[in-house]
Structure 1
Amino acid sequence: MKKFTELGLEPPPEMPEAFKICIQDMGGTEIKLVIQKFIRVTDLDPQQNRMSMPLKQVRCEFLNEVEKEKLSRRQVIQVVFVEPRVIVSELNLNKWDVGKTSSSYVLNGPWHKNTVKNNEDSLKPTTVVQIWLFRVGTNLKLGFALVKVRDGEQD
């Protein structure tokens, strides 16, 4: 959190207008920021094939009771996904427990094949991104938008 403050990213910037329009065009509602994080090498690794959202960094509760129950039974939830280039696709949402003390929500499925490949010029280790939640349709299907906030720092 201190690092975001040093970068001038606390409070987090608003969602860019292009994403708002895309989500509104899909009939999206209930837009809220889930997490602001640094991209890690593991988020880009084809072997890992996932974007993690550590529960300790998640800013708000965003699942309903049915969704929580599905994830607790290790079921996958298919979600709408808006990539940094404002391309709409689908991914899977899972919950992974790492040991007894750490858990993460995970976006996976065609994560590396589609999202990382489509956005490889902008998604680098230490890039700051936000993941926003929205809901679509009469069944309020989960959707997420991945917004690039800032390029990664060069060391």
Structure 2
Amino acid sequence: MGMIEEGLRLGEINGVNIPRRKRSSSVESKPDDDGASISMMEVATIMIAMANANGGYYKRKRKKSSTSKQRKKSSTPKQRKKSPTKKQRRKSRGKEMELGKSPPEMPAAMRDRIVGNGGIEIELVIQKKLEESDVNRNNGRLSLPAKKVRREFVREEEKKILDEEKGKNEKKKKGMEVGIVDDFLRESSMWLKKWKIGSGKDYCLMNNWNCFVEENGLRSGDFVQLWSFRINSSDRLCFAIVKLSHLL
């Protein structure tokens, strides 16, 4: 006990201020005592205070760290945004193309070829997704639904020709021959007719359509553009067909 009391002097112990104990004037100090020793009761009180102080500090530190982790954990899912997959991007792009929003321009090489051959009045007629009925050999035609046609491309005298019946058979129309240009700038011809499909009448490209499908590798689900133009010298109606599926 004497050693403990001798080792504890007035001042600070681990940051805890130790007050000086007043000694009675009636008690004579010993020669080796400087009046700074404390009792065991005071030592116990100081040690308890130190333990409480240290315990409270670590407890607060752990609580703050736990709260920080919880905030970080709770905020992480809100900050993360999943990027669209390739399939979703293709689907979104395909939907935009089917609706015809911001349609691509005609390829420059094709336009130059048409203009070089005297082509004028180049206009986009329709942009559509090919259905199974468009590539089926038994049908042998490309339908141009009236609701999806962007502009009227036939003139009044041509409409009369398309409405004329071939003989007494109402299903057979005369139609008119038109010029065709494909992606490879190959030129051919087809017949444009007007058929009653459902409650309305749609334009159809036929005769040599099956060959065009094979030569250009068209499949159901492909997107195509149909551009109309006329030859300045003869005023002949022609079409350019562009495959767009490579853009998806």
Q: Output the TM-score relative to the length of structure 1.
A: 0.86
Would the alpha carbon gap of residues 89 and 6 (structure 1) be closer, same or farther in structure 2, given more than 3 Å must change?
closer
Q: How far apart are the structure 2 equivalents of 1:58 and 1:143? A: 16
Matches within 5 A, 1:63-82: 63-73=154-164, 74-82=173-181
Q: Give the secondary-structure state (helix, strand or coil) at the position aligned to 2:160.
A: helix
Q: Which residue of 2 aligns with 1:49?
A: 140
Q: How far apart are the structure 2 equivalents of 1:6 and 1:141? A: 29
Q: How many pairs align?
A: 148
* TM-aligned CA deviation for residue 84 of structure 1: 2.6
As a proportion of its length, which structure holds more helix?
Answer: 2
* Partner of residue 115 from structure 1, selected from 212, 216, 221: 212
Q: Which runs of 5+ in 1 are unaligned?
A: none
Would the alpha carbon gap of residues 144 and 31 (structure 1) be closer, same or farther in structure 2, given more than 3 Å must change?
same
Q: Which runs of 5+ in 2 are unaligned?
A: 1-91, 165-172
- State which structure, 1 or 2, has the greater radius of gyration over its C-alpha atoms: 2
* AA aligned opposite 1:102: G
Q: Which residue of 2 aligns with 1:104?
A: 202
Q: Give the secondary-structure state (helix, strand or coil) at the position aligned to 1:144.
A: strand
* Partner of residue 127 from structure 1, selected from 214, 218, 222: 222
Q: How far apart are the structure 2 equivalents of 1:10 and 1:109? A: 31
> After TM superposition, which residue ranges in structure 1, 4 or more long, deviate above 3 angstroms?
6-9
After superposition, what is the alpha-carbon deviation per residue over 1:109-149, rounded to whole angstroms, capped at 9, x for unaligned? 1110x2012112xx111111100000014231000010111
Percent identity at matched positions?
Answer: 35
Q: How far apart are the structure 1 equivalents of 2:162 and 2:105? A: 29
More contact order relative to length (CA 8 Å, sep ≥ 6): 1
| Cα RMSD for the two superposed structures | 2.2
